[in-house]
Chains A and B, each alone.
Chain A
C-alpha cells in the first residue's frame, strides 16, 4: 500500500464544487508534482490534505491511518508537513526559534520544567538547538540563526519554511509553490536541496509549482488538475504532450 492514498476527494463551498473526484497515490521516497492553471484547486487539495478544510467527500489515508477531516494538529502528528503559497513564518521569532517550534512535538518537556528550569530543560533545549542547527545547515541558513525571520530575504524565507516543516519529522512533505519569486539560479539550487532532502530523510514530497522547468526537472510523476478535476497523470513527457493539458493551459476545445 502506498504512503498516501487519496480516493474520490472532493469539497464544495456552498454550491461551488471546488474539487471533485481527485485520486492520488503517493509512494514513500518519491517526488510528485501537482500542476494546473490558476484556480484549478491545487491549494484546496493541500488544504484538505492538511486539515485546514474538511473534505465533503472522499478519503485520505496516510500510512494506514485515516486522516480525512481530522484537525491540522492531528495530521501534523500523523506525519504530514507543509509550506504555504504566501509564506507563513513566525516573523517576530528568530530563525532558530522558527525551527525549534517545528520540533514542538518531537522534543518535549512540560510547562513546569520550563518555568522551574528543571534539569530536563537544559538537556532538551540543547537537543533542540542541535537538531535545529542541523536542519538550518542543510538550507545554508545556519549563519542567520539569530536573525528575526522577517529580516531574511525572500528566497531564504522560503527555505526556512521548508526547514521548519522538516522539523516536524514528516513522512510526507507538501510544498506549495516553493520556487515562486526565485531567480533561475535559486530555483536550480532549490531543486538540488529538495532532492537531497528527499534522499536524506527518505520522505515523499508533493509539490505545487508553476515553474515548469522545476516540475519537469524534479518530479517523477505529475498530476494535472483543471476545474477541480484530474485531467492527466504521468511523467514529464506524457504531460507535455497531452492534448488535454495543452488545452487547459492555452485554451481551446
Chain B
C-alpha cells in the first residue's frame, strides 16, 4: 500500500507540472487568438520556453546531481551556433521541418559533446572543481565565438580567428560566422508551439530520468558519495549521465532561443546568463523541477511586463526575487506551507470518510 501511494505521489506531482505547462499554452493561444497579447509579451514567449528548458536542465546538475555548474550559457551557446549553422545552410535546400529537426539534433549533440569534454576530466574528482571549470568553459566559448570567422566558397570552407579578410574567401564566398557580429540574416524558425513541445520533451526526459534506477543512483551520489560507492554504484558514470543530459538540453534551448532572432551573437551567452539561469534554479528550489519551470517563466516575463513603470522596474524585480526566495527557502514559510497543505488534506479526508469521525 505504502509503495503504491509513493508511486502515485510522484506521478501525480509530475502530472501537475505537465498540466501547468499545457494550461499556460492554452491560455496564451486563446489570448493571442482574441488579440489580447501585447507585442512585447508575445516576443517573450519563445525566450520563456528556452529559459524554462535551461532552468530544468541546470536543475538536473545542481539539484539532482548536487554539483555546481556556472557555465550553462556556454552549452547554450555551443548548441545555438551549431544548430543555427545547420539551419542557415539547410533552410533553403531542405524542407523546413527537416532542416529544423536537424538543427535541433545537431545543436543538442554538439552541446552534449562539449559536456563530455568538460565532464570526463572534471567529474572524476570530487569537490567543487566543476564550478570553476564550467565557469572557465563558458568564458572560453564566448571569447572563441567572438573571434571566430567562418565562411565558404567554391574552393571549400574557410576559417580564421583574426578577421574576415584573412579567411581569404573568393568573390562568390559566403560568410557564415562573422566574429563578434555572429551569424546574421537568420530566417526566424522558432515559435511558441515548438518551444512548448521542447519544454514538454525536456520535462518528460528529466522527470522520468529522476524517477528511475539511474535517477536514484544520481540522487544517491548527491546525498552520500561514499555510501553510494559502497553499494556498487559507478560514480563517474552516473555523474556524467546527469551532466551530459543537462548539457544536451542546454544546447537544445540554445537552438530554440537563437532561431527566434535574426542575428546570433556570442556575447549574449555570457557569465551573466549562466548566473541568471542559476538564479531561476535557486529561486524555484534546488532539486524542485516544477519550481524551476515557474521561476524561469515569471522572471523572464517580469522585466518586460514592468517596462511601463520604467523607474521602478528593477526595484520591483528585486522585491519579487526576495519574496520568492523567502517563500521557497525560509524554514518558517516551509513549515507554514506544510501546515496549510495538511489542513487541506485533513479537510478532504474528512469529506471522504465521514464515518471515521465516530471511531
Across the interface, do B219 and A90 meet the contact criterion of CB distance under 8 Å? Answer: yes
A145 with B213: in contact, given A50-B230, A73-B229, A92-B223 (CB under 8 Å)?
A: no
How far apart are B103's CB and chain A's nearest CB, in angstroms? 22
Across the interface, do B226 and A90 meet the contact criterion of CB distance under 8 Å? Answer: no
A129 neighbours in B (Cβ, 8 Å): 3, 7
Cβ-neighbour of B216 out of A81, A93, A142, A165 (below 8 A): A93
Across the interface, do B224 and A94 meet the contact criterion of CB distance under 8 Å? Answer: no
B214 neighbours in A (Cβ, 8 Å): 111, 114
| Interface residue ranges of A107-123 to B (CB < 8 Å) | 107-109, 111, 113-117, 121
User: Is A146 an interface residue when CB atoms closer than 8 A count as contact?
Assistant: yes
Across the interface, do A117 and B208 meet the contact criterion of CB distance under 8 Å? Answer: yes
A113 neighbours in B (Cβ, 8 Å): 212
Across the interface, do B224 and A146 meet the contact criterion of CB distance under 8 Å? Answer: no
How far apart sit A102 and B224, CA to CA, in the bound complex (Å)?
13
User: Most chain-A Cβ atoms within 10 A of its Cβ — which of B220, B226, B227, B235?
Assistant: B227
Name the residue of chain B whose CB is nearest to the CB of A97: B216
Cβ-neighbour of B223 out of A91, A104, A111, A143 (below 8 A): A91
A115 with B208: in contact, given A89-B224, A90-B227 (CB under 8 Å)?
A: yes
User: Is A42 an interface residue when CB atoms closer than 8 A count as contact?
Assistant: no
Name the residue of chain B whose CB is nearest to the CB of A80: B230
User: Is B2 an interface residue when CB atoms closer than 8 A count as contact?
Assistant: yes
How far apart sit A102 and B219, CA to CA, in the bound complex (Å)?
13
B234 neighbours in A (Cβ, 8 Å): 73
User: Is A159 an interface residue when CB atoms closer than 8 A count as contact?
Assistant: no
0/1 interface trace, chain B 201-240, chain A, CB 8 Å (1 if under): 0001100110111111101101110111111111100000
Name the residue of chain A whose CB is nearest to the CB of B2: A145
| Interface residue ranges of A228-251 to B (CB < 8 Å) | none
How far apart sit A128 and B211, CA to CA, in the bound complex (Å)?
13
User: Is B5 an interface residue when CB atoms closer than 8 A count as contact?
Assistant: yes
How far apart sit A144 and B141, CA to CA, in the bound complex (Å)?
49
Cβ-neighbour of B227 out of A84, A97, A128 (below 8 A): A84
Across the interface, do A101 and B205 meet the contact criterion of CB distance under 8 Å? Answer: no
B contact patch SS: helix
B222 neighbours in A (Cβ, 8 Å): 92
A115 neighbours in B (Cβ, 8 Å): 204-205, 208-209, 212
A52 with B208: in contact, given A105-B232, A146-B2, A146-B6 (CB under 8 Å)?
A: no
Across the interface, do B2 and A142 meet the contact criterion of CB distance under 8 Å? Answer: yes
How far apart are B248's CB and chain A's nearest CB, in angstroms? 12
Cβ-neighbour of A52 out of B3, B223, B226, B233 (below 8 A): B226
A90 with B212: in contact, given A145-B2, A146-B2 (CB under 8 Å)?
A: no
A142 neighbours in B (Cβ, 8 Å): 2
A50 neighbours in B (Cβ, 8 Å): 230
A89 with B209: in contact, given A94-B6, A133-B3 (CB under 8 Å)?
A: no
How far apart sit A90 and B215, CA to CA, in the bound complex (Å)?
13
Cβ-neighbour of A111 out of B209, B224, B228 (below 8 A): B209
How far apart sit A165 and B231, CA to CA, in the bound complex (Å)?
7
Across the interface, do B220 and A90 meet the contact criterion of CB distance under 8 Å? Answer: yes
0/1 interface trace, chain A 168-186, chain B, CB 8 Å (1 if under): 1000000000000000000
A88 with B227: in contact, given A104-B233, A117-B208 (CB under 8 Å)?
A: yes
| Interface residue ranges of B1-15 to A (CB < 8 Å) | 2-3, 5-7, 9
User: Is A225 an interface residue when CB atoms closer than 8 A count as contact?
Assistant: no
How far apart are B172's CB and chain A's nearest CB, in angstroms? 46
Interface residues on B, range: 20 to 34
How far apart are B20's CB and chain A's nearest CB, in angstroms? 21
Across the interface, do A96 and B232 meet the contact criterion of CB distance under 8 Å? Answer: no
A94 neighbours in B (Cβ, 8 Å): 6
User: Most chain-A Cβ atoms within 10 A of its Cβ — which of B7, B209, B220?
Assistant: B220
User: Is B241 an interface residue when CB atoms closer than 8 A count as contact?
Assistant: yes
Across the interface, do A88 and B226 meet the contact criterion of CB distance under 8 Å? Answer: yes
How far apart sit A91 and B208, CA to CA, in the bound complex (Å)?
21
Cβ-neighbour of A114 out of B215, B232, B235 (below 8 A): B215
How far apart are B244's CB and chain A's nearest CB, in angstroms? 11
A158 neighbours in B (Cβ, 8 Å): none
How far apart sit A218 and B223, CA to CA, in the bound complex (Å)?
33
User: Is A72 an interface residue when CB atoms closer than 8 A count as contact?
Assistant: yes
User: Is A4 an interface residue when CB atoms closer than 8 A count as contact?
Assistant: no
How far apart sit A176 and B220, CA to CA, in the bound complex (Å)?
20
How far apart sit A113 and B214, CA to CA, in the bound complex (Å)?
10
How far apart are B64's CB and chain A's nearest CB, in angstroms? 10
How far apart sit A109 and B211, CA to CA, in the bound complex (Å)?
13
Across the interface, do B231 and A167 meet the contact criterion of CB distance under 8 Å? Answer: yes
B219 neighbours in A (Cβ, 8 Å): 90, 92-93, 97
| Interface residue ranges of A57-116 to B (CB < 8 Å) | 71-73, 76-77, 81-82, 84, 88-94, 96-97, 100-102, 104-105, 107-109, 111, 113-116
How far apart sit A82 and B230, CA to CA, in the bound complex (Å)?
7
What are 9 sample pairs from A and B whose C-beta atoms fall under 8 A apart? A52-B226, A90-B227, A93-B216, A94-B6, A101-B216, A104-B233, A114-B208, A115-B205, A165-B230
**What would 14 more interface pairs be, CB under 8 Å, given A104-B216, A129-B7?**
A77-B232, A88-B227, A91-B224, A92-B219, A96-B3, A100-B216, A101-B217, A105-B231, A107-B213, A108-B213, A109-B213, A128-B213, A146-B9, A167-B231
Shortest 6 CB-CB contacts between residues of A and residues of B: A114-B212, A76-B232, A90-B223, A88-B227, A72-B229, A145-B2
Q: Please list the residues of chain B having a beta carbon within 8 angstroms of any beta carbon in chain A.
A: 2-3, 5-7, 9, 204-205, 208-209, 211-217, 219-220, 222-224, 226-235, 241, 287
